[in-house]
Amino acid sequence: MRKFWNWVKNEGERTLYLNGAIAEETWWGDEVTPRQFKDELDAGSGAITVWINSPGGDVFAAAQIYNMLMDYTGAVTVKIDGLAASAASVIAMAGGEVLVSPVSMMMCHNPATMAWGDSEEMLRAKALLDEVKESIINAYEIKTGLSRVKLSHLMDDETPMSVHTAIALGFCDGIIEPNKPPKAQEKSTETSQAQLPPKGKQVESFQERLNLIMGGKTNV
């Protein structure tokens, strides 16, 4: 079965990757898929990391994933490495800590649907969208602490958010820091110090300067 999620387990740590459109083919109208996701979620314990790169998708599928992650007993860390837009931004709100790459984006907007029929059918579609919007605002409000009016306006404006905007508005908690070799800074300092001539010694020739820089191994 095709899935838009993938679990990876490394040395006891579990990582969940959500990539692509949510419920692209296998969730909407499929009673097995939500159960399968929960079975995989509950197959282990402890802290999990959820990586998100998704333009969004089915809001009801996103609501189910959000609820499952909120109900999970272990710590949930969300990391956005590309895009968390629309329904994917709702899932991101389930993270106890939400981190965003310096070059990633978040985006929120009003829910949309397709409807066909008479004016009464159009009114019913509008009423549904209004209620769905309120449910989305619930998730945003819990995470950000912003007022519902402010959140509603952000959705009306189809607001894109860079990492700094997302932090300022409370949608995320910080920036994903790149992994660096622990001794990179020490090596840099040692190299710069090695290139300096000994105290009190005056470098009198080009050959002598090269010898100092190259550790005395240069022949010209």
**C-alpha–C-alpha distance, residues 191 and 189, integer Å:** 5
What's the number of domains the chain is made of? Answer: 2
In this structure, are 163 and 204 located in the same domain?
Answer: no
Model pTM score: 0.77
pLDDT at 108 over 80: yes
Please tell me the predicted confidence (pLDDT) of residue 22: 86
What is the rounded average pLDDT for all residues in the chain?
Answer: 84
- The CATH code of the domain that includes 97 is 3.90.226.10
In this structure, are 126 and 22 located in the same domain?
Answer: yes
Question: Mean pLDDT throughout 106-127?
Answer: 94
**C-alpha–C-alpha distance, residues 146 and 78, integer Å:** 20
In this structure, are 88 and 64 located in the same domain?
Answer: yes
Q: Give the percent of the chain with pLDDT over 90.
A: 59
**Does the residue 66 lie in any domain?**
yes
pLDDT at 39 over 90: no
pLDDT at 185 over 50: no
Other residues' Cβ atoms within 10 Å of the Cβ of residue 68: 17
In this structure, are 10 and 106 located in the same domain?
Answer: yes
Range of the domain at 83: 5-175
